[in-house]
Amino acid sequence: MNMQLPQAFLERMKDMLKEEFPAFLDSYQAPRQFGLRINAKKISPEKFLEISPFHLTPIPWVENGFFYGSEDRPSRHPYYQAGLYYLQEPSAMTPASRLPIAPGEAVLDLCAAPGGKATELGSRLKGQGLLVANDLSSSRAKALMRNLELWGIENSLVTTETPKRLSQAFPEYFHKILIDAPCSGEGMFRKDPDVAKTWEISRPAYFASQQKEIVTRGISMLRPGGMLLYSTCTFSPEENEGVISYILENFPQMELLDIPGYEGFSKGRPAWGNGDLRLEKCVRIFPHHMAGEGHFLALLEKKEEGLCGPAVLKAPALSQTPALSQAPASRRIRKEKDSRPKTASPDRASRALLEDFFREVSLPLDLSRLEIRSGHVYALPGAGPESVKGLKFLRWGLYLGELKKNRFEPGQPLAMALSAGDYPRVLNLTPDDERLQRYLKGETLLLDEEESGPGSGWYLVCVNGYSLGWGKVSGNLLKNKYPAGWRS
């Protein structure tokens, strides 16, 4: 691979790596690695290997991650549309794998789009607790929401807020927080050469300022005893050891923890920060040491109350960057008109329709936790805030479907949260059935007598038992209900 790297970047890396620099430079001639991460919420890695048509090799530092061959096309296989795996660069799988998540916890992915890390955090919650997945960009957050839906995550809140606004809504609320911070992207130059073309020597300082603001807000949302994992995909000391040095200097309640290791991991460099020897607990991923792109990780814990000494420092005032500058929330809320649809609990007629449909569905449904917005029905997570009023959000809970005149029409996110054994009427296709690709294109399907045997009505369409979406059967025809925005 021949690519043009910025000269100022090369000079800084040569100064940082010394005798390792030639090996680092040679790594840019090697082909990039491709990876997929198994959705353990739907299938085990062992089971997936039994049905996989791809050439897979385990990623040794991520238990549910695999390298796949350049000849494979996993994005074109129906298993991808079934949410059985996520396509992700191998090093980028590391942060979520190193943040210990327990079912029932409240977890925040603060900079979550497009969803690579949020989907992994959500699957390890196993449907219990709450995942708040946030991204400031509404367009990126829509991609994030679709990936969470594809993954079958039912207990999520997808927000489009600044870290400042979220911190006002969730003070010391979360057990675990992941901050994969916006950065200068130096670790992605081999994966995406266009990033190298836009790099400038001033970018690390610009992003470091943002990162300090973001981690300050993140720490305020972390409950005592909770853990925060900070990561970037850059080599810049200013954005890595420099930001962790800032945390250690200004937040004595935050303690650096050891990260479960791998032989290819490199230690953080105290000399690249403030000299604090604890910085060695950070992890650096260099492409000349591992089969992946550049990454940085640091795992911190917020000490329990009373363990951080008599005086806890407040964070110093930070210069506001244009991307994070906000008017005070209280004033902004009063000025904004609440344009969201009005919400309500199901009335008697709606409740009867929902009870009739879900009587056949193997999905625990608490009717007291249902919310209806303009006819659209949502199952709210069993754990979480009582209200999300005042927050900008795209999704709160699992979207079940829409109430129309005298009927209920199930939605795509509900389908993705189910499997063949959760619903009585199923059209289960094999990957080589020519109707499968036609279904994913939105076409009507012709069924044989055996397939339409359970009768007319809603059918869950699956590939080898893993759900893809809904269809409605009348006679021997299945009318396609696969969403237009999802079609291939």
Q: Compute the distance between CA of residue 208 and CA of residue 169 in angstroms, rounded to an integer.
A: 25
Band (pLDDT 50/70/90 cuts) for residue 328 is very low
Q: Which stretch of DSSP H or E encloses residue 168?
A: helix 163-169
In tens, the pLDDT along 209-221 reads 999 999 999 999 9
Domains 7-302 and 419-486 share a fold: no
Query: CATH fold of 419-486, please?
Result: 2.30.130
Cα(225)–Cα(302) distance, integer angstroms: 5
Residue 24, token pair as written in the block? 């680092």
Long-range CB pairs of 96-102, under 8 A, 24+ apart, other chains included = 96/120, 96/121, 96/178, 97/61, 97/62, 97/63, 97/65, 98/229, 98/259, 98/260, 98/283, 98/297, 98/299, 99/176, 99/178, 99/227, 99/229, 99/299, 100/176, 100/227, 101/125, 101/176, 102/175
Whether the CB-CB separation of 257 and 226 falls below 8 Å is answered with no
Which of 233, 282, 308, 462 does the annotation list as catalytic?
233
What is the number of alpha carbons within 13 Å of residue 175 lying toward its C-beta? 16
Binning pLDDT at 50, 70 and 90, where does residue 251 land? very high
Q: Could you tell me if 52 and 73 are in contact, meaning their C-beta atoms sit under 8 angstroms apart?
A: no
Query: From CA 353, how far away is CA 78, in angstroms rounded?
Result: 32
The pLDDT of residue 398 is 96
pLDDT per position as a tens digit, 34-54: 999 999 999 999 999 999 999
* Residue-wise pLDDT tens digits, 275-327: 999 999 999 999 999 999 999 999 999 998 744 433 333 333 433 332 322 22
Q: What is the 3-state secondary structure (H, E, C) of 343-364?
A: EECCCHHHHHHHHHHHCCCCCC
286 with 294: CB under 8 angstroms? Answer: yes
Shortest CA distance to 83 belongs to which of 34, 124, 38? 38
Dist. CA 128–CA 220, nearest whole Å:
24
Question: Which overall architecture, per CATH, does domain 7-302 show?
Answer: 3-Layer(aba) Sandwich (3.40)
Q: Specify whether 233 is catalytic.
A: yes
Instruction: Give the per-residue pLDDT at 342.
Output: 58
- What average pLDDT is seen over the chain? 90
* C-alpha to C-alpha distances, 40 to 120, 261, 427, nearest whole angstrom: 8, 22, 23
> What span, in angstroms and rounded, lies between the C-alpha atoms of 70 and 395?
36
Please report, to the nearest 10 degrees, the dihedral formed by the alpha carbons of residues 426, 459, 374, 349 taken in order. Answer: -100
> Residue for token digits 């972390």?
222
Residue 347 has pLDDT above 90, yes or no: no
Distances (CA, A) of 36 to 65, 66, 76, 83: 6, 5, 13, 11
Structural tokens at position 276: 């604090």
Strand pairing report for 398-404 and 376-379? antiparallel
400-450 pLDDT, tens digit each:
999 998 899 999 999 999 999 999 999 999 999 999 999 999 999 999 988
Q: Which of 478, 473, 401, 483 is nearest to 442 (CA)?
A: 483
Nearest to 101 by CA among 78, 80, 87, 120: 120
Please tell me what DSSP assigns to residue 268: -
> What are the extents of the domains in the chain?
7-302, 419-486
pLDDT at 311: 32
Single pTM value for the model: 0.91
pLDDT score of 387:
78
Q: What is the pLDDT of residues 54-113, one digit of tens each?
A: 999 999 999 999 999 989 999 999 999 999 999 999 999 999 999 999 999 999 999 999
Placement of tokens 């925040």 in the chain: 108
User: 101-153, pLDDT tens digit by residue?
Assistant: 999 999 999 999 999 999 999 999 999 999 999 999 999 999 999 999 999 99
Token digits of residue 287: 């492409």
Which residues are within 8 A (CB) of 426 and not within 5 positions of it... i.e. 6 or more apart? 420, 459, 460, 461, 462
